[in-house]
């Protein structure tokens, strides 16, 4: 006869439960602080992960550990190491982690060395161990003995530029530390700035790199997200720079699908493309009147105004949006065309937007789908056009 199985005792006694309730009641004032820390942590982490869809990741889940050592009074977690693994997964997927510099020392795009510490810093090259180095843009200009650096601190400073070849950026890197980075090569970069956000009193320098990654050409831009945040509804140097970068991206897309790092024509093509960008950025300093800005920006955007009617007629219900910030209606057409109308249906303007700019507006809630009111809005627009 099998021995009778004793009933399993609960690991939590009434006494323990009572003690826990007493502890919580005595520390009730600390609970809101824990909830605030949790909320702040999730918000910061969410801001970081907003870039992941642009890197080719549709989503992911992580099972992480959080440990507490009462003797050392230390908390440890493997959450961030797992996030780092996901970031480096882009190398496996052949997707370049935009906005980051490859670290030869850590053999990673996700380490602390892969990002500058401030919006005024640009990549200045690798040290002997392969760790990315960053300098304030004006300091880099001083190091390169650029004579115009003092103009950055005038009342109306111009945008200054600095072109650097990939060989110049890797000059200090020892061959022993290049192992593991054979699939990555910076061909050339153009640094320029400063853009000034007068509302926040912040300066911003951009660093535009053309890189060879897994035998493919990629465009890498440091501080691109910060530049997008300065986008203005009015013509401005920031707006025009965004369109110049879009033009460069399209130009690089026309290069051969796969290129060797030793391709003789590769550096020449990249140099011409970045040279054109350098010339266009410096030309922004000569556009001073709003009328000149507006005319040039319209020409650069190649605004599809004449297609507003046909696109509105053919648009689906999900192509109608409301811009809550500007109190306007936006209709999406083919080939990234967007047409803006007043609430009464009057046509305001038309433009071409990058997919990332469109997605950013949706993500931030600035553009919201109109939904079932789309057909009524369409009729109102067509009556006035």
What integer pLDDT is reported at residue 284 of this predicted model?
85
For the chain, give every domain's residue range. 117-297, 302-384
Per-residue pLDDT 10s for the chain (385 aa) are: 555 555 444 444 445 555 656 655 666 666 677 777 777 777 666 655 554 444 444 456 777 787 877 777 777 777 777 766 665 554 444 457 778 899 999 888 878 899 999 999 999 999 999 999 999 999 999 999 998 998 888 888 899 999 999 999 999 999 888 765 567 889 999 999 899 876 657 899 999 999 887 777 888 999 988 888 887 766 778 888 888 888 888 788 777 655 554 566 777 888 889 999 999 999 888 764 444 445 555 554 444 555 788 899 999 999 999 988 878 899 999 888 898 888 878 777 778 788 888 888 898 888 999 988 899 899 888 876 5
pLDDT of residue 287: 61
Q: DSSP for 80-104, please give it.
A: HHHHHHHHHHHHHTT---TT---BT
Q: Please report the pLDDT score of residue 368 as a whole number.
A: 92
* pLDDT score recorded for residue 95: 58
pTM: 0.57
Q: Are strands 74-77 and 66-69 parallel, antiparallel or unpaired?
A: antiparallel
**219 Cβ neighbours under 8 A, 6+ residues apart:** 98, 208, 209, 210, 211, 245, 248, 249, 252
**What pLDDT, on the 0 to 100 scale, is given for residue 56?**
42
Quote the pLDDT of residue 288.
Answer: 47
At 217 the pLDDT is 83
Tell me how far apart the alpha carbons of residues 370 and 322 are, in angstroms, rounded to a whole number: 6
Q: Please check whether residue 369 is in contact with residue 363, taking contact to mean a CB–CB distance below 8 angstroms.
A: no
Q: How many CB atoms lie within 10 A of CB 244?
A: 18
């Amino acid at each position: 006869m099998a021995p009778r199985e004793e009933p399993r005792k609960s690991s939590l006694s009434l006494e323990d439960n009572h003690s826990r309730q007493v502890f919580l009641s005595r520390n009730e004032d600390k609970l809101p602080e824990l909830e605030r820390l949790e909320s702040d942590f999730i918000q910061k982490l969410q801001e970081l992960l907003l870039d992941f869809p642009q890197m080719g990741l549709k989503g992911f889940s992580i099972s992480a550990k959080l440990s507490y050592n009462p003797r050392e009074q230390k908390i440890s977690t493997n959450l961030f190491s797992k996030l780092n693994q996901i970031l480096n997964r882009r190398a496996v997927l052949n997707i370049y982690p935009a906005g980051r510099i490859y670290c030869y020392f850590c053999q990673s795009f996700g380490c602390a060395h892969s990002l500058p510490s401030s919006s005024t810093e640009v990549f200045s090259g690798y040290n002997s161990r392969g760790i990315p180095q960053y300098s304030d843009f004006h300091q880099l200009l001083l190091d390169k003995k650029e004579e115009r650096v003092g103009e950055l601190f005038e009342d109306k400073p111009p945008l200054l530029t600095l072109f650097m070849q990939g060989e110049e950026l890797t000059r200090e890197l020892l061959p022993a530390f290049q192992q593991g980075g054979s699939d990555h090569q910076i061909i050339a970069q153009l640094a320029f700035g400063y853009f000034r956000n007068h509302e926040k009193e912040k300066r911003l320098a951009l660093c535009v790199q053309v890189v060879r990654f897994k035998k493919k050409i990629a465009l890498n831009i440091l501080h691109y997200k910060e530049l997008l945040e300065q986008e203005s509804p009015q013509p401005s140097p920031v707006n025009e720079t965004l369109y110049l970068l879009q033009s460069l991206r399209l130009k690089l897309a026309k290069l051969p699908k796969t290129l060797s790092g030793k391709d003789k024509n590769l550096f020449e093509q990249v140099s011409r493309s970045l040279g054109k960008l350098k010339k266009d950025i410096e030309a922004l300093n000569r556009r001073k009147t709003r009328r000149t800005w507006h005319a040039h920006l319209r020409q650069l955007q190649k605004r599809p105004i004449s297609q507003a009617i046909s696109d509105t007629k053919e648009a689906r219900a999900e192509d109608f949006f409301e811009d809550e910030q500007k109190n306007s209606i936006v209709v999406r057409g083919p080939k990234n065309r967007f047409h803006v109308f007043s609430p009464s249906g009057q046509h305001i303007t038309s433009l071409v937007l990058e997919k990332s700019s469109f997605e950013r507006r949706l993500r931030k809630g600035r553009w919201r789908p109109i939904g079932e009111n789309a057909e009524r809005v369409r009729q109102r627009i067509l009556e006035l056009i």
